Amino acid sequence: MTVISEQGGKETQHGNDERFCPPCDPGDGILDSVLGDITGGSTARRPNPEVVARAKRRRFTAEYKRKILAQTDAVKGSGDIGAVLRREGLYSSHLTKWRREREDGILEGLTPQKRGPKVKADPLAGENQKLRRDNERLADQLRKAEIVIDVQKKVAMLLGHPFQEADQS
């Protein structure tokens, strides 16, 4: 006989013994017993409800930083600053960094910064290198074309067909 306990767990009563024991089948859970009763004993495999959250770096605009700094500067008690931080989901280190940037007069300091290594190469250097590679490729094609033309001239002379050169001016 299967009984649902007050805590919602499935327990089995063996024979005439009044004591209850844990479920005999460890694969059955609370939801399995309820779903089994509803669906006639067949339960479908459920997906894992555990969701792995991917952390995403937050980026704050300069306007938002100024607004928060103005709010925290306007509050009277120390607990009020904590309330603002909790409401906005911020840390005190954010305020410290933003205040330091404001005091240093860094206007761009309150704007979000691009992360990662800084580009040290001149923007024209990439275009310059591309043009040099194109130039080398075209010079190689010209050299090959001149070789083909020379061979054609020699073949024409051997066959007795004089090759007329165009006037180069």
User: pLDDT tens, position by position, for the chain (169 residues)?
Assistant: 454 555 555 444 445 444 444 444 444 455 555 555 555 555 667 777 777 777 788 888 888 888 999 999 898 777 888 899 999 999 999 999 888 888 877 656 566 667 778 777 777 888 899 999 999 999 999 999 999 999 998 998 888 877 666 655 5
Reference 92, options 103, 81, 100; nearest CA is 81
Residue 55 falls within a domain, yes or no?
no
**CA torsion 95→101→104→105, rounded to 10°?**
-120
Residue 99 falls within a domain, yes or no?
yes
Residue 50 falls within a domain, yes or no?
no
Range of the domain at 153: 133-161
Residue 126 falls within a domain, yes or no?
no
Residue 68 falls within a domain, yes or no?
yes
